[in-house]
């Protein structure tokens, strides 16, 4: 984790708007990325992640707004002058060139001296562990090796800011998780600013110093992964992050014995322990969100208020077991240890950890 306090800005985006004809993709977007920060842009397909990254890279010209890199206004600068290196989702290596040539080609074109090129290739290939591959051509590499060469091509440019656009999405799950660790290691040793686009929440949670979650071209929340996970600002963010997804129960606020409760289909849940940012006024229509791992059953129950529920279905996942319970007309997923098994139809006692829950206004879907 990088300590972000006291760091100067590496990339600043000011009131950025971009339209393709009548279609507005980004509108008045503001974002400051700190020096050395690993920032992940996360969002579903079509939300504008690549568009934003391409604006920073200089491959798209914004309709309005400005972009600063290291306090320099680069809005109208050519991509090559911006001090950035970019790794694309569909990395095209030159097939007729060796790995070494793929790495050196751009530097030769830029007129760098031979020994400097050799030094940079040695450094990049050492970091990425591709030294044994330098004499091979791309056809003789695995997908993960090719991806590392593509990252190497950005690395040798010796830039301040790296931009990654879903660099791992073409790889199978196992390779993806291996390269994820390597990218994290890369950032720890280089300490450059990295802006990384993905729609994979695990990549976002594991890599990011901060995550910017986007929806329809608008940043919904910009925070460190733990805050995003535990205190989502709205229902969209809450539902986007977390797998299996957060449970959402629609109901309303009420008061019992002078204390706030959440009521749904005639059943009341004490809200003791919930940290609300505003008054929990009775009658307000709300959605209660609870993650599967923040629900306790039977022997795990502590001081939580307990309710009776019926096991509807069981999904053993190895390390964990996901059980789906029927309660007050809702089906609720609960994550328990993989060794604990429940028969379908059996009765369990269930309690919500309200300190970890989220309440959203039913109308605005904003956190309460
Ligand atoms: N050249 C273009 N002309 C018109 N619309 C475009 C153009 N390029 C992108 N768009 C639209 O802009 C929106 C954002 O596209 P963008 O490529 O930034 O999405 P993304 O978040 O990167 O999605 P993905 O995860 O699928 O790569 C989409 O609705 C897309 O259809
Ligand atoms: Mg994209």
Taking the centre of ligand 2 as the mean of its atom positions, its distance from the CA of residue 128, in whole angstroms, is 25
Contact 169, 95 (CB under 8 A): no
The closest ligand to the CA of 214 turns out to be: 1
Q: So what's the pLDDT on residue 316?
A: 93
Ligand 1 atom with the smallest distance to the CA of 48 is 18
Q: Which two tokens stand for residue 206?
A: 């594991």
- CA distances to 95, 101, 121, 156 from 118, rounded to whole Å, are 21, 11, 5, 10
Give the whole-angstrom CA distance, residue 365 versus residue 130.
48
Atom 16, ligand 1: which residue's CA is nearest?
A: 48
Which stretches of the chain score pLDDT less than 50?
none
358-361/347-352 β-pairing? unpaired
Closest CA to 260 of 275, 243, 242, 240: 275
Write down the residue that tokens 């129960």 correspond to: 249
Q: So what's the pLDDT on residue 60?
A: 93
Closest CA to 286 of 253, 245, 260, 256: 253
Ligand 1 atom with the smallest distance to the CA of 199 is 25
Atom 3, ligand 1: which residue's CA is nearest?
A: 20
Ligand 1 atom with the smallest distance to the CA of 214 is 21
Condensed to tens digits (0 to 9), the pLDDT of residues 66-103 reads 999 998 999 999 988 898 988 887 767 898 999 999 99
Atom 12, ligand 1: which residue's CA is nearest?
A: 25
The answer, yes or no, to whether any atom of ligand 1 lies below 6 A from the CB of 51, is yes
Domain architecture of the chain: domains with CATH: 9-240 (3.40.50.300), 247-361 (2.40.50.140)
Taking the centre of ligand 1 as the mean of its atom positions, its distance from the CA of residue 51, in whole angstroms, is 6
State the Rg of the chain over Cα.
Answer: 25
Instruction: Please say whether the dihedral angle defined by the alpha carbons of residues 253, 255, 260 and 263, taken in this order, is positive or negative.
Output: negative
User: Best of 22, 40, 45, 50 to mutate for ligand 1, by most ligand atoms within 8 A of CB?
Assistant: 50
The closest ligand to the CA of 46 turns out to be: 1
Q: So what's the pLDDT on residue 1?
A: 61
Q: So what's the pLDDT on residue 2?
A: 61
- CA distances to 17, 61, 144, 221, 291 from 215, rounded to whole Å, are 15, 21, 30, 10, 21
Give the whole-angstrom CA distance, residue 138 versus residue 196.
24
Closest CA to 205 of 229, 173, 186, 182: 229
- β-pair partners for 351: 296
The closest ligand to the CA of 199 turns out to be: 1
Which alpha helices (H) appear in the chain, and where do they start and end?
A: 49-57, 99-109, 114-128, 143-155, 173-190, 201-207, 225-230, 235-240
């Amino acid at each position: 984790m990088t300590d972000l306090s006291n760091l100067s800005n590496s990339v600043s985006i000011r009131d950025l708007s971009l339209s393709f004809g009548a279609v507005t993709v980004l509108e008045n977007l503001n974002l400051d990325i700190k020096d050395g920060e690993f920032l992940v842009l996360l969002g579903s397909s079509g939300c504008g992640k690549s568009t934003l990254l391409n604006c920073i890279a200089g491959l798209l010209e914004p309709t309005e707004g400005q972009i600063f890199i290291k306090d320099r206004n680069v809005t109208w600068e050519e991509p090559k002058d911006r001090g950035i290196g970019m790794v694309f989702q569909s990395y095209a290596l030159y097939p007729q060139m060796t790995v070494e040539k793929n790495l050196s080609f751009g530097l030769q074109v830029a007129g760098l001296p031979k020994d400097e090129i050799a030094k940079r290739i040695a450094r990049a290939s050492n970091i990425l562990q591709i030294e044994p591959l330098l004499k091979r051509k791309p056809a003789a590499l695995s997908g993960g090796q090719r991806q590392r060469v593509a990252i190497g091509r950005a690395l040798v440019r010796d830039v301040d800011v790296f931009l990654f656009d879903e660099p791992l999405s073409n790889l199978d799950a196992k390779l993806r998780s291996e390269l994820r660790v390597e990218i994290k290691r890369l950032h720890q040793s280089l300490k450059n600013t990295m802006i990384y686009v993905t729609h994979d929440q695990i990549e976002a949670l594991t890599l990011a110093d901060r995550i910017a979650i986007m929806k329809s071209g608008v940043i919904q929340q910009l925070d460190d992964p733990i805050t995003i996970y535990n205190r989502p600002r709205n229902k969209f963010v809450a539902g986007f992050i977390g797998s299996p997804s957060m449970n959402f129960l629609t109901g309303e606020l009420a008061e019992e014995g002078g204390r706030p409760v959440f009521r749904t289909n005639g059943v009341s849940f004490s809200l003791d322990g919930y940290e609300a940012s505003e008054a929990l006024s009775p009658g307000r229509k709300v959605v209660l969100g609870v993650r599967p791992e923040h629900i306790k059953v039977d022997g795990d129950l502590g001081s939580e208020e307990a309710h009776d529920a019926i096991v509807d279905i069981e999904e053993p996942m190895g390390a964990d077991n996901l059980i789906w319970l029927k309660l007050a007309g809702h089906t609720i997923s609960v994550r328990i240890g993989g060794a604990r098994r429940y028969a379908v139809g059996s009765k369990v006692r269930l309690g919500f950890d309200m300190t970890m829950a989220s309440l959203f206004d039913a109308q605005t879907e904003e956190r309460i």
